[in-house]
Amino acid sequence: MTLQGKTGLITGASRGIGRAIALAFAREGANVAVIYAGSQQAAQHVCAQAAEYGVQARAYQCDVADFDQVKETVQAVQKDLGGVDILVNNAGVTRDGLVYTMKEADFDAVLDTNLKGAFHLIKHCYPIFVKKRAGKIINISSVSGLMGNGGQANYSASKAGLIGLTKSVARELAGRGICCNAIAPGFIDTDMTAKIDKDDNQLVGMIPLKRMGRPEDVANLAVFLAGSGADYITGEVIRVDGGLAM
């Protein structure tokens, strides 16, 4: 178990990619803090599944866009699970629309959760990592942040910003032995992509591997980046997109 004795804090962990990462970490021996915004029942179910691997798993409701809530949540995780070794910023929302019709509130809401939320978690976990001179930060970006996407100016901007944040934090913390990387998923079969026709030949035709990805495809990379095998990798943006953005 490559993450034995570690504690991972994963935002947006009650479903989709976050859930897959939390369970993959647990399978590898890590205790997990399941951070969620909406369904307590879903978060508790993830914890119950994680606990089957013999690790500690706790759920914490938190709006990552709220600076003070994040601070309190990180403190609670420290108290309950003994610290944080791995931070995964996965929480994300969409409010799609053309720029011409997009409301300012919809632009702000996406940036506040997807980008500013990651900043909040990094800021409050920062002293934990610096004190132990170790830690892994994994930010879940998107190929939309690399390519742009019509009708998603807010989402694409937030994910592109997350890449810039990743590289800046990686440079800032590298001297302390702390690694910060980003994963850029493509079309992954989750609730967020539920409106997409999975059998759309035009969509599948855009993907060289000719299929949508699974949450586990992203989780497998997150496990690697969280482990000691990735100790000399920092500031990277790794796509998990079936070749979509190559």
Structure-block tokens of residue 181: 């990387």
For 10-47, the three-class secondary structure string (H helix, E strand, C coil) is EECCCCHHHHHHHHHHHHCCCEEEEEECCCHHHHHHHH
Among residues 185, 163, 175, 157, the alpha carbon closest in space to that of 235 is found at 163
Any idea which residues carry the catalytic annotation? 155
Contact assessment for residue 145 and residue 163, using Cβ atoms and an 8 Å cutoff: yes
At 139, phi and psi to the nearest 5? -105, 130
Query: Alpha-carbon distance 64 to 73, whole Å?
Result: 9
